Chains A and B, each alone.
Chain A
Amino acid sequence: METELHLLNTTEADELTALLLKQLRQEITDGETRQLNDLVAKHPSYKRVYERINNEEQLLADLLVMKQVDKQGWWQKISEQTVARAKPRSFFRRWSFYVAAAVMLIIAALTYRFVITDRLQKGANEKQVSVKINIPPGGNKATLTLANGSVINLDYASTGTVAEENNTRIVKLKNGELKYEPVSQDGSIEHTGNQLVNNWNVLSTPVGGQYRLVLPDGSKVWLNAASSIKYPTHFTGNVRRVAITGEAWFEVSHVKGAPVPFVVSINSPSGGRAVEVEVLGTEFNINAYPDEDAIKTTLLKGKIKVFVFDGAAAGSLLPDAEASRSKQLTAGQQAQIPVITKELGSDSIKVVNGVDTELAIAWKNGLHSFKNADIKTIMRMLGRWYNIEIGYEGKIPDYKFTGSIPRTENFSAVLNMLEYAGIHFRIEEKKIVVVP
């Protein structure tokens, strides 16, 4: 069919465009140069364009020609035509034909994107995978495990009091927000004569989930996808202790009177290393996903201290200098602790100055942001949010990406953006394979 044929060639054109731009920017690899030369040799028209673009004078001259359009005037006319729908038929040349053609082309383009590309790359004899992808973004999802072991699915819980434990009321404020409210009259978390039993609760988000939490001391926690936080229903004693997995953003509140340190233990994914972050009152983000290569603590406000323990056991006491290495962070710094290292030492905490803090907390503000990130990093981030498995096949392009994608986008829209940037995919059920 003519339309299909035409679309096949469009990719060739897209490819040629991408290669020519790379060449202009002097970022073309040897392999790509060969690819470009092969493509240019395919047709005299391609060669002509290649030569025109690589002639600086010609390029500038063509740019000028392109700009010689009465943009404003045409926009006026187009706006009028599209507002006044009364007589569009006479205006279009054989309108109905074009609509039909356009519809065909859109269908073909979509089919092409997901089916034919695949068929082309995998060879004609391979069974074609025509999975329609409609993967919505993640949302406010979490489960709460109470001290008595019962599990509450917060997606279905109605707003209001979800449970009451240990003199603390657990309230679902709205979708995606949970709050612990002390019931006791004084409302203070300070150590009182009446020692309360520490009842640990766990809030966990699934892949593609996120949740906000207000702890009994008023500290706020944002939990990213595939993460969890363990905390008592009532803080007692001289330290406020919580433990997390995955990624979380903290806004720790000051305690009136004597400062009570707030300690976050990071349950090391590999189990080989225990990390703790000690703070008084501050704002910071911890990213400790098991599939990332480092545990990253980014500080936005205040001061924190990051500890790494030689022993495998997460310290249940406040760390002492003998057993641990520590580094103090000031605002704008990020501590990076490699997940896999053989030897521990003070250099096992790397402190990076002047980090782009916006980048570390973009997720909390509804964005997937990356800076000079490779495709694997991006796909890990997307996989956690869209609940998809990621696979790789052949040589993975080593492009670096910078940009942001709203977390509200559908996955197909995100894939299209990436495709436009030169990354290709094959879609299987709940799995995306990055192909050359």
Chain B
Amino acid sequence: MKHFQDKSLLQEFKRGNSHAFKTVYDMFFPSLCFFAKRLVDNDAEGEDIAADSFIKLISRHESFETLPNIKAFLFVTTRNACLNYLRLSQRQTASKNDLAWIQDKTDEHVLSHMVHAEVLREVEYEIEQLPQRCKEIFKLIYYERRSADEIAELLGISINTVWVQRAKAIQLIRTNLLKKGMLSVLLCFLVMTDNSLKM
């Protein structure tokens, strides 16, 4: 509990601490990429835009007061860049239908992708918080699509253990984050940065 008494992620971020930059990057980059890729329908361009947004964020690091400010900046900057990209690329193959289509991308459409990215980010964060063994099994089942038999053999445990751990993982994901609220998530990050500073 004493680890983050004096420092906070935001303070360090404002001060220009590269560990704080990395923590914020780890937090938001995958979901921001997801968001950008969806908007421009182009993976390479999407990642490029998301990375640009991060560079802008870091070069203005002194001006952020809160994590929601940072998040808002990242999404809004990325959204602007995506729309701009679409306008530019559309100009070459312009047609009125396409322009209408871009218009459609401005409001709820954009926001719905943001919601999607945010939900995924939170769920992913939850998975990463699982106890080691639990996480391992969860990932093997859901990401690698391994069967319980395979996992049991792979890890040298009983099939029963596999199911128990899977149930535990699902339970933990469902009950964890919201009860704690984003507040504790933020604080977890604070602890993490602080530990990494000590190393």
> Does chain B have a CB within 8 A of A130?
no
> Does chain A have a CB within 8 A of B142?
yes
Partner of A78, one of B31, B58, B116: B58
> Does chain B have a CB within 8 A of A369?
yes
Distance (Å) between the CB of B151 and the closest chain A CB? 16
Contact B124 A67 (CB under 8 A): yes
Mark B133-167 against chain A: 1 for CB-CB distance below 8 A, else 0. 00000000011000000000000000000000000
> Does chain B have a CB within 8 A of A243?
no
Contact B115 A46 (CB under 8 A): yes
Residue of B nearest to A82 (CB): B58
Distance (Å) between the CB of B173 and the closest chain A CB? 8
Contact B1 A101 (CB under 8 A): no
> Does chain B have a CB within 8 A of A352?
no
Contact B81 A98 (CB under 8 A): yes
Question: Residue among B21, B124, B187 with the most chain A CB within 10 A?
Answer: B187
Contact A369 B1 (CB under 8 A): yes
Which residues of chain B are within 8 angstroms of A431 by Cβ–Cβ distance? Answer: none
Which residues of chain B are within 8 angstroms of A49 by Cβ–Cβ distance? Answer: 112-113, 115-116, 119
Contact A399 B181 (CB under 8 A): yes
Distance (Å) between the CB of B32 and the closest chain A CB? 9
Contact B72 A105 (CB under 8 A): yes
> Does chain B have a CB within 8 A of A238?
no
Contact A21 B178 (CB under 8 A): yes
Mark B1-29 against chain A: 1 for CB-CB distance below 8 A, else 0. 11011101010000000100110011001
Distance (Å) between the CB of A420 and the closest chain B CB? 4
**Main SS of the interface on chain B?**
helix
| Interface segment, one of A22-30, A141-149, A163-171, A248-256 | A22-30
Partner of A92, one of B56, B58, B68: B56
Quick one: given A13-B115, A78-B25, are A66 and B124 in contact (CB under 8 Å)?
A: yes
Contact A93 B52 (CB under 8 A): yes
Distance (Å) between the CB of A233 and the closest chain B CB? 33
> Does chain B have a CB within 8 A of A413?
yes
> Does chain B have a CB within 8 A of A20?
yes
Mark A66-94 against chain B: 1 for CB-CB distance below 8 A, else 0. 11010100110111011001001001111
Count residues of A near B (Cβ-Cβ below 8 Å). 79
> Does chain A have a CB within 8 A of B63?
yes
Partner of B34, one of A65, A79, A88: A65
Mark A362-374 against chain B: 1 for CB-CB distance below 8 A, else 0. 1001110100000
Tell me, in angstroms, the Cα distance from A166 to B77 when the chains sit together: 68
Quick one: given A43-B108, A77-B51, A420-B186, are A71 and B181 in contact (CB under 8 Å)?
A: no
Contact A93 B81 (CB under 8 A): yes
> Does chain B have a CB within 8 A of A342?
no
Partner of A25, one of B84, B178, B182: B178
Contact A416 B180 (CB under 8 A): no
Which residues of chain A are within 8 angstroms of B69 by Cβ–Cβ distance? Answer: 106, 109-110
Count residues of B near A (Cβ-Cβ below 8 Å). 76
Which residues of chain A are within 8 angstroms of B55 by Cβ–Cβ distance? Answer: 78, 81-82, 88, 91-92
Contact A62 B181 (CB under 8 A): no
Quick one: given A82-B55, A98-B81, are A367 and B5 in contact (CB under 8 Å)?
A: yes
Contact B119 A420 (CB under 8 A): no
Contact B186 A417 (CB under 8 A): yes
> Does chain A have a CB within 8 A of B177?
yes
A residues 96-118 touching B (CB-CB < 8 Å): 98-99, 101-102, 105-106, 109-110
Mark A16-43 against chain B: 1 for CB-CB distance below 8 A, else 0. 1100111011110000000000000011
Quick one: given A46-B115, A93-B81, are A417 and B174 in contact (CB under 8 Å)?
A: no
Distance (Å) between the CB of B97 and the closest chain A CB? 18
Mark B52-86 against chain A: 1 for CB-CB distance below 8 A, else 0. 10111011100111111100110111001100110
Mark A392-436 against chain B: 1 for CB-CB distance below 8 A, else 0. 000000011111111011001100111111100000000000000
Contact B56 A403 (CB under 8 A): no
Contact A416 B68 (CB under 8 A): yes
Which residues of chain A are within 8 angstroms of B58 by Cβ–Cβ distance? Answer: 78, 82
> Does chain B have a CB within 8 A of A6?
yes
Quick one: given A21-B119, A66-B30, A367-B5, are A403 and B187 in contact (CB under 8 Å)?
A: yes
The 4 A-B pairs of least Cβ separation, nearest first, read: A421-B181, A45-B112, A43-B108, A403-B184
